[in-house]
Copies of this chain bind each other. A is one copy, B any other.
Amino acid sequence: MSQLPNIREIAEKAGVSTATVSRVINHNGRYSRETEERVRKAIAESGYVPNLAAKGLRTNRTQTIGVVVPNILNPYFAKLVFELQNALFEQKYATIICNTNESAELEKELLATLMAHQVSGVVLISGHSAPVSMQAVPTVYLDRRPEDILYSPLNVVIESDNFNGGRLAARELLACGCRSLAVIYACKPDVSQKLRLDGFRQTLVDTARKEIHSTEIILADGSAACIRRTLAETLGSKPGIDGLFCLTDMIALGTMGALQLSHVPVPADICLIGFDDSPLADLWLPPLTTIRQDAGATARLAASQLLGMISGVRPLQQNSVVPVELVRRATTRATEGKGWFE
């Protein structure tokens, strides 16, 4: 039960005042080289670690960032969180990660908890905007932009170039020779997903070629069973579909599973393209062609903007768009003869 040493003990041990110890720790203020050495020695010998609760109380800076995520079980979000954490830890910030399970109510509760913990900033992947009580906390909206976001020097949005992603997907399918396209998504697309959809539609309109048809497949939910059912129905009523754009990788993998079960060769009969470049996309067989959102770049940008706002820098722009790129793997290369299956 030996109590942890506090700053007073260090001060005593080094024969200085607590103020001096604090100054040495924070490289803040003046002290002689000799004093510094004595203090550092005392710290090292006693294994002293400053109490961040006390520090946070005094300075209102807790060195803690709250990250709110819809579902950490989704590999893409896990990647995003992983990268965020790395970037923040480098700057000595700890990360409190919260799952909302897509529930707006739970999200409110979690944000209140984060406020209680006096987080220095918040990263929100949510699609909702934060309550007014949080306007004083620097916030980065990541990946999903809330519709009713209130712009302020403490709010910033970072999102992938979803519109262009949708366009790239459409072009790739067309380049593979697909003529009857379908886009497939869960019934309540968020703002980001709508942009992907817009980019896709716009591209088809722009090509303005009579022989190209397109339809939309809307899923009641994202489960494998639902995908199988809905896909079977659609393929039954509209035969000839030869290109599918799935608005997320998870849906793409579910779709691929459904196609494999019905012995539809991919990409020979149907080309398939996802969105996210989830770690699974590359692991799957056949590896999924997809639109890559660069989780590392996005997370690093989010971290730097957030830390900037925390240290009082007004963000240069309220809205950053991270480029996306097509990652061509095995589900769109129009191969000769047989595909990966059958």
Q: Which residues of A contact B (CB under 8 A)?
A: 1-2, 4, 47, 49-54, 56-57, 62, 64, 72-73, 75, 78-79, 81-82, 85-86, 89, 92, 94-99, 110, 112-118, 133, 136, 224, 253, 257, 260-261, 279-280, 283, 285
Kindly state the separation between the CA atoms of A128 and B234 in the bound complex, as whole angstroms.
53
Taking CB atoms, residues of chain B closer than 8 Å to A110 are 89
Flag if A53 contacts B62 (CB, 8 Å): yes
A-B contact pairs, 23 of them (CB 8 A): A4-B115, A4-B136, A47-B133, A51-B118, A52-B118, A53-B54, A53-B62, A72-B72, A72-B81, A73-B75, A73-B78, A73-B79, A73-B279, A82-B99, A85-B98, A85-B99, A86-B99, A89-B98, A92-B113, A94-B96, A95-B98, A96-B97, A253-B283
Interface residue from B53, B97, B280 paired with A97 (Cβ < 8 Å): B97
A81 to B73, CA, bound (A): 9
Q: Report the copy number of this chain in the oligomer.
A: 2
Also in contact, A52 and B116, with CB within 8 A (given A82-B73, A85-B99, A280-B280): yes
Do residues A113 and B94 form an inter-chain contact, with CB atoms below 8 A? yes
Question: Considering residues A53, A85, A92, A94, which has the most beta carbons from chain B within 10 angstroms of its beta carbon?
Answer: A53
Tell me whether B97 and A95 are in contact (CB under 8 A): yes
Interchain CB contact under 8 A, B53 and A224: no
For the complex of A and B, 5 pairs with smallest distance between CB atoms:
A53-B56, A53-B57, A49-B116, A53-B53, A52-B116
Q: Within the assembled complex, what's the spacing in Å between the Cα atoms of A280 and B74?
A: 11
CA distance A261 to B330 in the complex (A): 13
B contact residues around A47 at 8 Å (CB): 133
Report how far A212 CA is from B153 CA in the complex, Å.
Answer: 70
The chain B residue with its CB closest to the CB of A81 is B72
With a cutoff of 8 Å between Cβ atoms, the chain B residues found around residue A52 in the complex are 116-118
Query: Given the complex of chains A and B, what is the CA–CA distance between A240 and B136 in angstroms?
Result: 67
In angstroms, Cα B285 to Cα A49, docked, is: 50
Residue of chain B at shortest CB distance from A118:
B53
Contacts of A95 in B (CB 8 A): 96-98
CA distance A72 to B295 in the complex (A): 15
Cβ contacts under 8 Å, A85 to chain B = 97-99
Closest B residue to A254 by CB, please name it: B283
From A341, which residue of chain B is reached at the shortest CB distance? B341
Q: Which B residues touch A133, using CB under 8 A?
A: 47
Q: Assess whether A49 is in contact with B115, with CB atoms less than 8 Å apart.
A: yes
CA distance A99 to B72 in the complex (A): 14
Query: What's the nearest-Cβ distance from chain B to residue A286, in Å?
Result: 9
**Closest residue of chain B to A253, judged by CB?**
B283
What is the distance, in angstroms, from A134's C-beta to the closest C-beta of chain B? 10
